[in-house]
A and B are shown apart, each in its own frame.
Chain A
Amino acid sequence: MSDETPNPDKDLSAQNLPGQRGDHGEEVRVQRGMFGAQSGGDTSGYGGLVRSIRLPGPATRPYGGWFDEVADELEGALEEQGLLPSSAIEKTVVDRGELTFHVEREHLVRTARTLRDDPALRFELCTGVSGVHYPHDKGRELHAVYHLRSLTHGRTIRLEVSAPDTDPRIPSLVAVYPTNDWHERETYDFFGIVFDGHPALTRIMMPDDWQGHPQRKDYPLGGIAVEYKGAQIPAPDQRRSYS
């Protein structure tokens, strides 16, 4: 992809290393200090460090390779159905050779159905949903990430949908991709995302009477301190961290 117009989102050279991204991309949180010391006892010299954590932001055309083709086809197909592409697709991110469509949740099912059925797109296989929790990304804390694979064209894309913590609802894709049945149950179990329209949204991994959704960032790891001869090692989430 080096022969195309320079695109800062795709560039993997040294200027993309953390701290050197500048104001590019999308801020998800601000990191202060370095060693997790909050009480002012940090004498490392890193206590005053302020670093903003930025995920790759929206890309500009051309995306490069077959990405433009897929984006054009998807936008065209959505328009045919009378849906303005800009209202369904919040933004398109091209990063590390992968194409991501951030889709508005109310249009997720229609977008997925289009991606599956349109002859030029044909993303027949959904490899399930993965939840990600960004507690500091206000208004869009919970993300559901779908990877779609087209066996016909040999392509993989990613759909990302976000929902606020106060209203953790995302429409279910089970009607389009029945394989998402267990995957959505798992994401509900671990993140508390409610998939509207799922035939039986119950816990799948944890016991039915479990409290909370254990893989959210605000849920502790739940480890216990380990005793040794003359010493005690705190649980992994209680130790000093560098990030």
Chain B
Amino acid sequence: MTTPHASPRETTEGAVYTVTGGDWDEVVRSAAKADDERIVVNMGPQHPSTHGVLRLILEIDGETVTEARCGIGYLHTGIEKNLEYRTWTQGTTFVTRMDYLTSFYNETAYCLGVEKLLGITDQIPDRASVIRVLLMELNRLSSHLVCIATGGMELGATTIMIYGFRDREMILDLYELITGLRMNHAYIRPGGLAQDLPPGAVDAVREFVKTMKKNLPEYDKLATGNPIFKARMQDVGYLDLTGCMALGATGPILRSAGLPHDLRKTDPYCGYEEYDFEVPTADTCDSYGRFLIRLEEMRQSLRIVEQCLDRLEPGAVMVADKKIAWPAQLALGTDGLGNSLDHIKKIMGTSMEALIHHFKLVTEGFRVPPGQAYAAVESPKGELGAHVVSDGGTRPYRVHFRDPSFTNLQAMAAMCEGGQVADVIVAVASIDPVMGGVDR
């Protein structure tokens, strides 16, 4: 500590000090003596190789990751709080934006919860349930396609990214035809659906299934046997069954550890018990196994979609209870907006009471008896649960989403520590976290 201060050295840019003495010398000496190459690397929250705004903090020794931690919350949107200031029906508009790649699952989990609170689970029309299943399975396809596409891109394989987005576009076209929107649909509502399938939708879905059956083997040809792909994915991101259970990992991660746990089989909802499909598993516990499971799940989803189409029968898509169901069948007016003209004619011209009822139901909403319910669906990423609490009002008292991405992301440290830096990317891609769901 007695060493003199650094003496200034004059340069054209002003005085320059070279720091010597004090603690700094010790730091430099000890750093020079230490023969390891331990450094702490911060990745993100804005980085091309992470899914969204995920921040990874890695302590690396040479190329080996000794410690890995996640920083999340960079996309925290306060959706759960916002829900408390909107009616139960408006809630779907918010939840659909949580995990934006699995919109229909968020909506279904929320609506199943609200329906359980209302006690109308048994009254949901069959057609509504079949269309929900149809859309959810299409959604599984589109979500897995994004996972495989971006996962490939993060490995440097741009071709598979183009493939994935090419096929996803076709699904988005179907969404647009059915719900009017490419993403963030708010189509599934408490009690049923916002509206029926438009004319031509069934044919369009059939056409899509045909095309997709042709396209799916291309992923096999491109990636499954690809030696580089296998070398990057096999034995990377290892998490065995014990780890999965302790960390609460569900979805493809759990199934890659060999346990065929799928809520569609073990705790069916929306009539899943009547569909014929298989739950693929792997016993490799690694990223490659998860990739194969996702591919196989897409094939199974196509099977379910076909069964849905055969099962579709004409009928209502909303509960009969007029205190819950919005009265109108939405239909496009000449101005591109609006409501069914027949309905407007009726409420404006002939029935004052219908007008009042419509107004009250849309602005004030329906009341839900006090209590709480938990509804869970098997989203492409795992168990997506909605804990819905009502205090008897027209707005949710509290809605909490148990998002699979959030829970599965905790496994990142267990998968990455001890591996190589480059494998961190592969492991995170195999978890397939979507930050909208993680942070909500």
Contact = CB atoms under 8 A, between A and B. Distances in A.
Interface of A: 12, 16-18, 21, 25, 28-29, 31, 51, 53-56, 95-98, 100, 124-128, 130-133, 145, 147, 149, 151, 154, 156, 158, 177-183, 186, 190, 203-207, 214-215, 221-222, 236-237, 239, 241-243
Contacts of A180: 248
Nearest to B386: A130
B248 A127 contact: yes
A236 B82 contact: yes
Given A128-B407, A151-B266, A205-B73, A237 B85 contact: yes
Contacts, number: 144
Interface in B122-139: none
8 contacts: A29-B391, A128-B406, A132-B372, A186-B406, A190-B80, A221-B84, A236-B85, A243-B367
Interface stretch (B146-154, B285-293, B395-403): B395-403
Given A125-B248, A128-B402, A241-B395, 11 more contacts: A28-B370, A55-B372, A97-B116, A98-B374, A132-B372, A156-B376, A183-B407, A204-B72, A214-B81, A215-B81, A243-B394
A37 B393 CA distance: 16
A12 B119 contact: yes
* Interface range on chain B (Cβ under 8 Å from partner): 35 or more
B335 to A, nearest CB: 21
A126 to B, nearest CB: 6
B247 interface: yes
A236 B245 CA distance: 40
Contacts of A205: 72-73, 76, 439
B248 A242 contact: no
Contacts of B261: 151
Interface of B: 72-73, 76, 78, 80-82, 84-86, 116-117, 119, 245-250, 259, 261, 266-267, 364-365, 367, 369-374, 376, 383, 385, 387, 389, 391-395, 397-398, 400, 402, 406-407, 409-410, 439
Contacts of A18: 367, 369-370, 392
B407 A242 contact: no
Contacts of A17: 369
B117 A178 contact: no
Contact of A127 (B246, B383, B394, B397): B383
Contacts of B395: 241, 243
Q: Chain A contact residues: over half helix, strand or loop, or mixed?
A: mixed
A179 B248 contact: yes
Nearest to A186: B406
B410 A154 contact: no
Contacts of B374: 98, 147, 156, 158
Given A18-B367, A206-B76, A242-B393, A132 B398 contact: yes
Contact of B365 (A128, A178, A190, A242): A242
Give 3 closest A-B pairs by Cβ, nearest first.
A243-B393, A179-B248, A12-B119
Nearest to B364: A242
B371 A96 contact: yes
Nearest to B118: A12
Nearest to A155: B267
Nearest to A56: B371
A221 B78 CA distance: 9
A179 B395 CA distance: 30
A115 B182 CA distance: 44
Nearest to A147: B374
B402 A127 contact: yes
B76 A154 contact: no
Nearest to B398: A132
A206 B81 CA distance: 14
Contacts of B367: 18, 243
Nearest to B367: A18
